[in-house]
Structure 1
Amino acid sequence: MNHRFLSVVGLAAAIAFTTSCSTNKAATDNTSSKVVTGKAAAAQTADSIPVWAPKRHGFNPSRTLDHDLLHTKLRVSFNWEKQHLNGLAELTLKPYFYPQDKLTLDAKGMDIHAVNLMKGYDGTPLKYEYNGEKLTINLGKTYTRIEEYTIEIDYTAKPNELKVGGSDAITQDKGLYFINPLGNDPYKPKQIWTQGETEANSAWFPTIDTPNERMTQEIYITVDPKYTTLSNGIFMYSRKNADGTKTDYWKQELPHAPYLTMMAIGEYAVVRDKWRNKEVNYYVEPAYKNTAKKVFGNTPEMMEFFTKKLGVEYPWAKYSQVVVRDFVSGAMENTSASTFMEDLQMNERELLDKHWDNIIAHELFHQWFGDYVTTESWANLPLNEAFANYSEYLWAEHKYGPDEAAYLQMDELSQYLDEAETKREPLIRYQYGDREDMFDSHSYAKGGRVLHMLRKYVGDEAWWASLNRYLTQHKYTAVEVAELRMAFEDVTGQDLMWFFDQWFLQPGHPELKVTHTYENGQLNLRVQQLQDTAYMPVYRLPLEVAVWANGKLTDYPIVIDKADQTFTLPATAQPQLVLFDADQQLLGTIDHDKTKQELVYQFNNSKQLSPKLETMVRLQEQLTDPEVLKLLQNALQDDYWVVRSAAISALSQLESDKANSVKEAIAKLARQDKKGAVRADAILALANWEGEKYKQLYLDAMNDSSYIVNAAGILGYAGTGAADTKERLAKFEKEKGEEVILALSSFYAVQGGPQKYDWFVRNIRQGKGGALYYLLQSFGAFLAANPQTNTPESIELLKQLAQNHNIYYVRGAAYQALMVMSEKPEVQQILTEIKESETDKRLLEMYN
């Protein structure tokens, strides 16, 4: 995933042609150990309770299983006009342990037409009660745990009539989605797809919708023959029907949780691949069939890598990956058939700047952690998501090297610390307010970092052996965190309760103040734990301290286990550098003051990414110092692109007349750097200093193969005020690259004039995700500058987005754009309607 995208996007959205481009937040805000102490540490509410203090809700246990769902057979067809699913479900069950004479199923928002007890092909009607959420069936007799029975349910699912909920990770939960069902939108194909997590599959078939249940399944999908279908397991056959439709039959022979059941239906090109003897296929829209392997093509290598490391072969019959429109999440790990957002469909030029290996690895690793072994309750969600997140690090480390892996982990730390300013909860938390609350930067980002610390503590051999034991012992079952701990304890022979208690079961993170002094051949290292111990523990932290003295490096292992602790370490001379947490693996904040000389030495001698970036951030206030300037000039030549970009970001803060010594070096990067993001950063830095001088450079950038460089060139050239700016920019109006569109929108917002209205509307209709959010911000500025475009059409466009888009922040951006026209009575009424129909608490807080 390209973490650089938002640096240019942010510029475009801010309508800033002369702002220097900074490196990604994940590459800067994380690097200064002093900076990341976090505002949350001091944030208090009026009654002195921290704003991030853990919230206490009712206890949420795993679902009690009265029945065991053994097998589900579905026969489904669709009414596109009404957006209904017509279904016939056969469920085979037995009592879990105790005798039962009633069965209660999850079935949300359905019409139930008939319920029958099946004996072969013969059905006996059963009495039932249905309240719109639960279907309770009187079985007609009492069954024991050794007696199986089969229920047939004839039903219609109506997902659009459900009240919609969701979370940051999964923005809607209606289970079944019709995309462009009437074919009215020329920019979208007609599709149907499902999204089951957390408990949304019960919106399209009756089931026991809980992660601690498992079933095998068959699905018969009846559709127009022009559509390709995908589901879990193996494609058995396709049958032509007398009415001109076809029925595709998919069979999942190994048990999995009901939330992992999926369908995807659309006009797809199926690009075929293979791992060992198993099919690996990529389902994309036909326009992207030639680049599908360039996006997904590392999948077989990932499967081999994870299989060998885990010692557990990829467990399912096939692995398919499908891209859908308007997906409500980034991706979803359905068993043997993962679903991805449309951003993964890219053309050749987009592939120059971006890859999606992280998200592809994430969903693949879930096939073991989440699908093969599944969390027993949403309270234990990190047993799914923390492992999937950490797989991104594992793959990056294997494929792209330690710097790329470290960059990912810095991003993870930044995400968690940002969230920790207002929220600190245990990773494993039974007292959540809503199960959707579990899908946060704790379960994902913090969880992945905690697993990294566990790996560092036990060592690689024990790490992989423990994961093998965990997967082998618990395959096709539901688990809780104690079972992960016991797997590691069985392998290592150690009691690891202390580690799991402080990192999985307690909230927060260590906030450390580190100081060091040298005297009489001894280095005194003082470590204070400053976190609020009314809510967080005093941590036990085994780590290493790297000390350079007389140019020699020595690593000292220490164990911090007190609130205030001093360590005395031997040193042959005044240390040139003391690097706390030598492995840079700690989840927490570290405030460790260092002199300029120590930071310079750190940059030149530490081989790790984080200390290098920390140096550049902490020396930014000394940019005119010759030694600092030399360091940053050297950083422009670093092997890793993030370091080069960070150096450009730091140097761009110089006043123009003080930057003369670095301008040509940066201009060289703008022309020649192999990384498009670095070229773009360099172009924008030069534009910040001297617009006119580098006009030809901007023109060259506008012809670059990279969209992100095109965008930088557009912003740079527009900043010159050249008379032919509009003419030159008009040549890019048909480009598909999001960065180019956003760069144009930032200019057109204030200087395009009303004639650019159609361009805005066309791109908004085709926009997606984060890019659409920024585009709507520019459109709001455009409407304010061009009141003659405040037409009923523009009002209706924004109204539909504000009411119906599945991403909450896009709805919010559309609402804000409508506010530009709030003097109109009809717009005031629409804004009121939007507020009344909105359910997302984040937007309601903003609207009110």
Structure 2
Amino acid sequence: MNYRFLSVISMAATLAFTTGCNTNKGVTAGGTTAAATPKPQVAPTDSILTIAPQKHTFNPSRTLEHDLLHTKLRISFNWEKQQLNGLAELTLKPYFYPQNKLVLDAQGFDVHSINLLKDNDGTPLKYEYDGRKLTIQLNKTYTRTEQYIIEIEYTAKPNELAKGGSDAITEDKGLYFINPLGQEPDKPKQIWTQGETQANSAWFPTIDTPNERMTQEIYITVDPKYTTLSNGAFIYSRQNADGTKTDYWKQELPHAPYLAMLAIGEYAVVKDKWRDKEVNYYVEPAYKGTAKKIFGNTPEMMEFFSKKLGVAYPWAKYSQVVVRDFVSGAMENTSASTFMEDLQLNERELLDKNWDGIIAHELFHQWFGDYVTTESWANLPLNEAFANYSEYLWAEHKYGPDEAAYSQLDELNQYLDEAETKREPLIRYHYKNQDDMFDSHSYAKGGRVLHMLRKYVGDEAFWASLNLYLTRNKFSAVEVAELRMAFEDITGKDLMWFFDQWFMKPGHPELEVNHTYANGQLAIRVKQLQDTTYTPVYRLPLQIAIWNEGKKSLYPIEITKAEQTFTFPVSTQPQSVLFDAENQLLGTIAHAKTGAELTYQFYNAKQFAPKMEAIVKLKEKVAEPEVRKLLETALKDDYWVVRSTAINLLSNLSKEQATTLEPTIAQMAQKDKRGAVRADAILTLAAWNGDKYRTLFEKALNDSSYQVTAAAILAYAGSGATDTMQKLARFDDEKNEEIVLALANLYAMQGGEAKYKWFLDKLKQGKNSSLYYLLQSFGAYLAGNEEANTPEAIKILSDLAQNHNQYYVRASAYQALTVMSNKSEVKALLEEIKKAEKDERVLEMYNQMQ
């Protein structure tokens, strides 16, 4: 599963035409835009980082009393009631010890009958049901050599379950009906499932744990206008006498119950192929023409990963389906991954974005998560760290080292941001809820740790070890020791130290590095500053690069102490020293360097991370001639992120200081091959001299890139043009989120009464992340336009605050409502909403808003 699930350039919340700020934060490998979970903008509360590994209950793997061998489902749906009618046949046997009763997970069912099947005859069985667990008294005591089949007729009612969820998976009711009555004209009718972590038991009875495995058959009865998708191979479709059809899907290889899925809707199925296997893309008909441009690298990814791992993609087919209102970014259901609707892009949007990162992530899960599965949620990084690292691997292979390094730097920053308030072991058995495992530790930190392991053992050993791990543990559940043993068996190295400090202990190294030169010796002193009460003193093998008399030399070192000094013979004062020359370390490095050393590093290191370090550390000296010259060189860099960063730092120059630079930035605003860079250049010109470049901004309104057009909207509005509203009115019907959010930012301040209906229309059309930011702008609009504080606006915000499935949208709608809290009816409504809200994350946000 990919938890970085929101795709939006948050102009409504972050852009201002006077700042020249970067419009492209969160762009991942290949240019995909992916923001972290948005949070309402409230004043932060003081917090103290605490590390307490045992503050929650111990959560081991589930004890298996029965082994679920096979699940056969016959299902149909009641769209009006949003219910599933099911007949389940479960084939089981005792796992080891004799058993005379069976306990199944079954959430919120009406159970109609339970029978023991034998030779097509059914014998009723006694059972007890508490709404979560179904306890069945078997007809006798079975041994581990005896199989039996239970038939359960039931109705699943997911909407009657108590709401739950997390940052990564915002709801957990398992089965979702989208626009079931067809009352939303711009939204298709769909049904889809989401099983991770333990939500598939909300639509079929099962043993809902990742250390269980089953084969499956699903017969899905629907209206013939709908296309269905499930795991495994499509066997046939049968027309029924009542006008419905039944599609039959069969999964012949075993997988964990949480990976079972179905998706139903009116889809265009775009066919592709890898080797002799079907690769299909299920998209809404409007995106049939771009489906291969969105997903078309999938066969190449399958070949790349299959060859690297030495294990060919193992499943019968690979399908990818896009659904509306998904509760996460994507989900790696076996042979059939599900994706959020943001992946559906038109031709123009594809100029700025691709989703290769998330596509590679879910594909790699087909090996790490599906073929070999974590035995408990405590071991989740065995699924997610690998899927996360696949994004780096694919970027490295397809787009080159700069794109891969940028993606890795983004991962490091995600983890370090979370580590400000939370530090846990990667493998953690003590958690409050299994959904807590889906965080930047399991993903971002985990992926970076795998990269360090790869660097330590070497590429050949890394891939050989993964091959052994996969082949040795195929179709089974694993814990972290089995990964370690695979690496040890291949390399002959004892790796307990590596796994202990990186997987089993919280925190990360916090290094202070200083270098001094005297008498032909370079001394590098390294201090580990992290709190060693819970965090270890790390063993850190890495490399140091030293430039001396224009020559680069690499020196391997191994840090093993809290404070350590390394010396190297050099003929003269080094021109630059690069600690961790491979940029592989997960942690923080405070290394004091002179401006001359940083400048030399920029021109000579040739790698993305050292270039960026030099640029960022010199940002306070942007007006100095040498630094300005460096940034002007960066404007010509082959990699777009370097160019973009340089533009944004140069935007801090005053109008007078920037005079000679303006022609270069103006040229980039019009000619740079990357839309993101053109957008940054436009905003920088707007910050320097907006009225001078009004004509350029007007021309940019017609740019092929949505990012550029959005920047031009803000720049033109900030130029003082008297015809701004007339000129921009032609974009009012645009649905692209970047254009909508740019307009919302403008209209919040300057729209007046005329834009009241525009805001309401966009709120009705908005979705998830863009809706969150739109609500931020609407709140600002309401604050400045009291005549817009109408019952209609109150009703829309109230509905979103109470009923939207994304918790952060509910919180943002509530926040917008607080603008009108001077009205007694709104004040009472806010109390009512707060009282009814059950999600602890939302309640915490409400408390901060007070």
Band the TM-score falls in, shorter-chain normalisation: over 0.9
> Partners of 1:26 and 1:84 in 2: how far apart?
38
Q: Does the 8 A contact of 2:426 with 2:442 survive in 1?
A: yes
| Structure 2 residue 169 is the aligned partner of structure 1 residue 170 | yes
Aligned to 1:295: 294
Whole-Å separation in 1 of the counterparts to 2:130 and 2:701: 60
Matched-pair contact (CA < 8 Å) for 1:393–1:408 = yes
**Superposition pairs of residues 626-665 of structure 1, within 5 angstroms:** 626-665=625-664
Structure 2 residue identity aligned to 1:210: T
SS of alignment partner, residue 290 of structure 1: helix
- Cα shift readout 1:435-470 (whole Å, capped 9, x = no counterpart): 010000000000000000000000000000000000
SS at match of 2:325: coil
What is the CA distance between 1:838 and its match in structure 2?
1.9
In structure 2, the residue matched to 1:37 is: none
Letter in 2 for 1:469: L
Verify the 8 A CA contact 1:652 1:688 in the aligned structure 2. yes
Matches within 5 A, 1:277-292: 277-292=276-291
Report the Cα distance in structure 1 between the residues aligned to 2:13 and 2:514, rounded to whole angstroms: 42
Instruction: Kindly report which structure 2 residues correspond to 1:836-847, keeping only aligned pairs within 5 A, or say none.
Output: 836-847=835-846
- How far the C-alpha of 1:792 sits from its partner, in A, is 2.4
Give the letter aligned to residue 328 of structure 2.
S
Q: Please say if residues 52 and 421 of structure 1, whose CA atoms lie closer than 8 Å, have aligned partners that are also in contact.
A: no
Q: Which residue does the alignment assign to 1:709? A: 708
Q: How many angstroms does 1:5 deviate by? A: 13
1:168 to partner: Cα distance: 1.1
Query: For 1:671 and 1:522, how far apart are their aligned partners in 2?
Result: 51
Q: How much has 1:53 moved relative to structure 2?
A: 4.7
* Matching residue of 1:235: 234
Compare 385-394 and 241-250 and name the one that shifted more: 241-250
1:20 aligned partner, one-letter code: G
Match of 2:446 in 1: 447
Q: CA deviation at 1:6?
A: 10
Worse-superposed segment, 758-767 or 585-594: 758-767
2:607 matched to 1:605? Answer: no
Measured in 1, the distance between the counterparts of 2:735 and 2:690 equals 27
1:365 and 2:371 matched: no
Is the Cα–Cα contact under 8 Å of residues 603 and 611 in structure 1 kept in the other structure? yes
Give the CA deviation at 1:618.
Answer: 0.9
SS of 1:150 mapped into structure 2 = strand
Q: Which residue in 1 is equivalent to 2:729?
A: 730
Letter of the 1:254 partner, please give it.
Answer: L
Pick closer, same or farther for the CA change 1:820–1:729 going to 2, 3 Å.
same
Q: Is the 8 A contact 2:395 2:401 kept in 1?
A: yes
CA distance in 1, matches of 2:756, 2:608: 45
- SS where residue 583 of structure 1 aligns? coil
Whether the 8 Å contact between 1:701 and 1:713 is mirrored in structure 2 is yes
| C-alpha distance in 2 between matches for 1:27 and 1:763 | 25
Q: Distance in 2 between matches of 1:23 and 1:453?
A: 31
Per the TM alignment, residue 58 of structure 1 is displaced from its structure 2 partner at its CA by: 1.4
Match of 1:223 in 2: 222
**CA separation in 1, counterparts of 2:84 and 2:49?**
48
Kept in 2: contact 1:8–1:712 (CA 8 A): no
The offset of 1:405, in angstroms, is 0.2
TM-score by length of 2: 0.96
Q: Which whole-Å deviations, capped at 9, do the CAs of 1:207-257 have from their partners, x for residues lacking one? A: 000000000000011111110000000111111111111111100000000
| CA shift for structure 1 position 791 | 2.4
1:513 counterpart SS class: strand
Counterpart secondary structure, 1:759: helix
SS in 2 for 1:76: strand
Q: What's 2:147 paired with?
A: 148
2:684 is paired with a residue whose SS is helix
Amino acid at match of 1:18: T
**In 1: Cα distance, 2:710 partner to 2:696 partner:** 13
CA contact (8 A) 2:373 2:476 kept: yes
Q: Does 1:796 align with 2:801?
A: no
* Structure 1 residues 47-98: Cα deviation after superposition (integer angstroms, max 9, x where no partner): x974355452111010000000000000111111110111110000000000
For 2:813 and 2:18, how far apart are their aligned partners in 1? Answer: 27
Q: Any stretches of 5+ residues in structure 2 without a counterpart?
A: 29-44
Distance 1:491 1:70 in 2: 33
1:337 equivalenced with 2:333 (yes/no): no
Deviation at 1:143, TM superposition (A): 0.3
Distance apart, 1:9 and its partner CA: 3.8
Matched, 1:250 2:249: yes
The one-letter amino acid of 2:223's match is D
User: 1:471-493 CA distances to partner (integer Å, 9 max, x unpaired)?
Assistant: 00000000000000000000000
- Please give the alpha-carbon distance, in whole angstroms, between the structure 2 residues aligned to 1:22 and 1:747: 18
Determine helix, strand or coil for the equivalent of 1:656.
Answer: coil
Aligned-partner residue type, residue 619 of structure 2: Q
CA distance, structure 2, for counterparts of residue 476 and residue 139 of structure 1: 28
Larger deviation: 577-586 or 19-28? 19-28
Q: Is the 8 A contact 2:74 2:220 kept in 1?
A: yes
What is the CA–CA distance in structure 1 between the aligned matches of 2:234 and 2:584, rounded to whole Å? 44
Distance 1:820 1:226 in 2: 45
Cα 1:681–1:5 change in 2 (3 A) is farther
Q: What SS does the aligned partner of 2:777 have?
A: helix
Equivalent in the alignment of 2:90: 91
Bigger shift: residues 492-501 or 764-773:
764-773
- Cα deviations across residues 384-404 of structure 1 (Å, max 9, x unaligned)? 000000000000000000000
Deviation at 1:793, TM superposition (A): 2.2
**Offset, 1:661:** 2.0
Aligned-residue offset at 1:584? 0.3
Residues 238 and 472 of structure 1: CA distance in aligned 2, closer, same or farther (over 3 Å): same
Question: 1:4, CA displacement in angstroms?
Answer: 14
- 1:7-406 superposed matches below 5 A: 9-14=9-14, 16-22=16-22, 24=24, 50-54=49-53, 56-406=55-405
> Can you list the C-alpha shifts for 1:158-195, whole angstroms capped at 9, x where unaligned?
00010111111111000000000111111210000000
What is the correspondence of 1:425-504 to structure 2 with a 5 Å cutoff? 425-504=424-503
Pick which of 732-741 and 827-836 moved more: 827-836
| 1:777-800 deviation digits (Å, cap 9, x = unpaired) | 111112222222222222221122
Q: Within 5 A, what are the aligned runs for 1:453-602?
A: 453-602=452-601
- The 3 A distance-change label for structure 1 pair 109 and 791 is same
SS at match of 1:779: helix
Counterpart-to-counterpart distance in 2, 1:4 and 1:234: 30
Q: How do 1:799-838 residues align onto structure 2 when only pairs under 5 Å count?
A: 799-838=798-837
Amino acid at match of 1:723: T
Asked whether the equivalents of residues 49 and 422 of structure 2 are also in contact (C-alpha less than 8 Å), the reply is no
Q: Would you say the 8 A contact 2:164–2:171 is kept in 1?
A: yes
Structure 1 residues 87, 12: closer, same or farther in 2, change over 3 A? same
Q: CA deviation at 1:757?
A: 2.1
Aligned to 1:756: 755
Is the Cα–Cα contact under 8 Å of residues 451 and 584 in structure 2 kept in the other structure?
Answer: yes
In structure 1, what is the Cα distance between the partners aligned to 2:425 and 2:652? 40
Q: What CA distance in whole angstroms lies between the structure 1 residues aligned with 2:583 and 2:762?
A: 43
Give ranges in structure 1 of 5+ residues lacking alignment.
29-44
SS at match of 1:279: strand
| 8 Å CA contact 2:230, 2:263 repeated in 1 | yes
Per-residue CA distance 1:624-671 (angstroms, 9 max, x = gap): 111111000000000000000000011001111111121111111101
* Amino acid across the alignment from 1:106: D
**Does the aligned pair in 2 maintain the 1:680–1:708 contact within 8 Å?**
yes
In the alignment, the residues of structure 2 paired with residue 669 and residue 55 of structure 1 have an alpha-carbon distance, to the nearest angstrom, of: 54
The 1:562/1:366 distance shift into structure 2, 3 A limit, reads same
How many residues matched?
A: 829
- 1:747 Cα offset (Å): 1.1
Cα drift, residue 12 of structure 1:
2.7
Corresponding position: 1:699 with 2:698: yes
CA shift for structure 1 position 737: 1.6
Structure 1 pair 5–749 and aligned structure 2 pair: CA distance change class (3 A): farther
In structure 2, do the counterparts of structure 1 residues 392 and 4 end up closer, same or farther at CA, with 3 Å as the change threshold? closer
Letter in 1 for 2:814: Y
Question: Using a 3 Å threshold, how does the CA distance of structure 1 residues 465 and 7 change in structure 2: closer, same or farther?
Answer: closer
CA distance in 2, matches of 1:23, 1:549: 39
Identity %: 75
